[in-house]
Structure 1
Amino acid sequence: MTSIAELVSAAGGVLRKRDLVALGATDRRLTHAVRSGSVRRPRRGWYSTLSPADRRFQAVRIGGRLSGAAALFECGAWLQRRPPLTVSVPANASRLRPRRRARVVWDGRDICDRGSLTSVDPRDALVRAICELDFLDAVAVVDWALHTGLIELDDLPRLLAHLPRDAQRIIGWVDPKTQSILESLVRTRERLRGNQVEIQCRLSNGQLLDLLINGIVGLETDGREFHESSFEVDRRKDCVIIGDGYLPLRASASMVLRDADRLSRAIETLLTIHNDPPPSRPDILDLARPLPGRGRRPWRLGRVPCRADRTRFPCPA
Structure 2
Amino acid sequence: MTTIAELVASAGGLLHKRDLVAHGATDRHLTSAVRSGSVSRPRRGWYSTWPKGDPRHVAVAVGGRLTGASALHLLGAWSWRRPPVTVSVPQTASRLRRRRGVRVVWDSLDLSDRGSTWAVDPRDALARAVIDADSFEDAVLLVDWAREAGIVSDDDDAAEVLSRLRADAAGLAAWSEGGAESILESVAGTRFRRAGHHVVRQVPIKGTNKVIDMVVDGIIGLETDGRAHHADRFEKDRAKDSDIARSGRIPFRASARMVRDRWRSTADAVDALIHMAGGARPVAEVGNSSLPRVLGPRGRRRWRLAMPRQGIGQELPTVVC
TM-score, L = length of structure 1: 0.92
Tell me the percent identity: 50
Shift of 1:304: 4.3
Aligned residues of 1:225 and 1:252 also touching (Cα < 8 A)? no
From 228, 232, 236, the counterpart of 1:233: 236
CA–CA distance in structure 1, aligned partners of residues 312 and 31 of structure 2: 73
Q: What's the counterpart of residue 17 of structure 2?
A: 17
For 2:148, what is the secondary structure of its paired residue? helix
1:103 aligns with 2:106: no
Residue 301 of structure 1 aligns to which amino acid in structure 2? Answer: L
**How many angstroms apart in 2 are the aligned matches of 1:3 and 1:251?**
52
1:176 is displaced (CA, Å) by 2.3
Return 249-258 or 189-198, whichever deviates more.
249-258
Q: For the structure 1 residues 226 and 38, does the alpha-carbon distance in structure 2 shift closer, same or farther, using more than 3 Å as the test?
A: farther
Q: Per the alignment, in what secondary structure is the counterpart of residue 47 of structure 1?
A: strand
Quick one: distance in 2 between partners of 1:178 and 1:246? 20
Q: How far has the Cα of 1:309 moved from its partner?
A: 8.7
Structure 1 counterpart of 2:202: 200
- Taking the TM superposition and a 5 Å limit, the aligned residue runs for 1:127-166 are 127-133=127-133, 134-153=135-154, 154-166=156-168
Amino acid at match of 1:146: R
The equivalent of 1:94 in structure 2 is: 94
- TM-score normalised according to structure 2 size: 0.91
2:272 aligned residue = 269
Answer whether contact 2:132 2:300 (CA < 8 A) is retained: yes
Matched, 1:282 2:268: no
Paired residues of 2:126 and 2:162 also in contact (CA < 8 A): no
**Aligned with 1:242 (options 241, 245, 250):** 245
* CA-CA distance at 1:229 after TM superposition: 3.8
Residue of structure 2 in register with 1:122 after alignment: 122
Kept in 1: contact 2:90–2:108 (CA 8 A):
yes
Alignment partner, residue 291 of structure 1: 295
Distance in 2 (CA, whole Å) between partners of 1:203 and 1:127 is 36
Alignment CA distance shift 1:173-1:303 (3 Å): same
Q: Is the 8 A contact 2:188 2:259 kept in 1?
A: yes
Letter in 2 for 1:135: F
CA shift for structure 1 position 157: 2.8
Query: Which residue in the other structure is 1:214 paired with?
Result: 217
C-alpha distance in 2, partners of 1:225/1:208? 20
Aligned match of 2:67: 67
Q: Distance in 1 between matches of 2:113 and 2:198?
A: 42
Query: Which residue in 2 is equivalent to 1:301?
Result: 305
Give the aligned residue type for 2:127: V
Task: Output the CA distance in 2 between the equivalents of 1:224 and 1:26.
Answer: 52
Contact 1:285-1:316 at 8 Å conserved across structures: no
Please state how far the C-alpha of 1:36 moved relative to its aligned partner.
1.2
| Contact 1:223–1:250 (CA under 8 A) maintained in structure 2 | no
Corresponding residue pairs, total: 315
What's 1:189 paired with? Answer: 191
CA contact (8 A) 1:287 1:305 kept: no
Q: Distance in 1 between matches of 2:72 and 2:171?
A: 21
Q: 1:104 to 1:255 in 2, by over 3 A?
A: same
Partners of 1:65 and 1:199 lie apart in 2 by 36
Q: Is the 8 A contact 2:14 2:47 kept in 1?
A: yes
Give the secondary-structure state (helix, strand or coil) at the position aligned to 2:60: helix
After TM superposition, the structure 1 stretch with the greater mean CA deviation from structure 2, 22-31 or 184-193, is 22-31
- Matched with 2:40 is 40
Deviates more, 1:298-307 or 1:270-279: 298-307
2:20 corresponds to 1:53? no
Runs of at least 5 residues in structure 1 that lack an aligned partner in the other structure: none
Unaligned runs of 5+ in 2: none
Indicate conservation of the 8 Å contact 2:196/2:316, yes or no.
Answer: no
More deviation, 172-181/184-193: 172-181
Deviation at 1:277?
A: 4.7
Give 1:50 shift: 0.6
Offset from partner CA, 1:79-100 (integer Å, 9 cap, x none): 1211111001122222211111
d(CA) in 1 for partners of 2:83, 2:149: 20
| Greater CA drift, 69-78 or 94-103 | 94-103
Could you say if the C-alpha distance between residues 305 and 129 of structure 1 is closer, same or farther in structure 2, counting changes exceeding 3 Å?
A: same
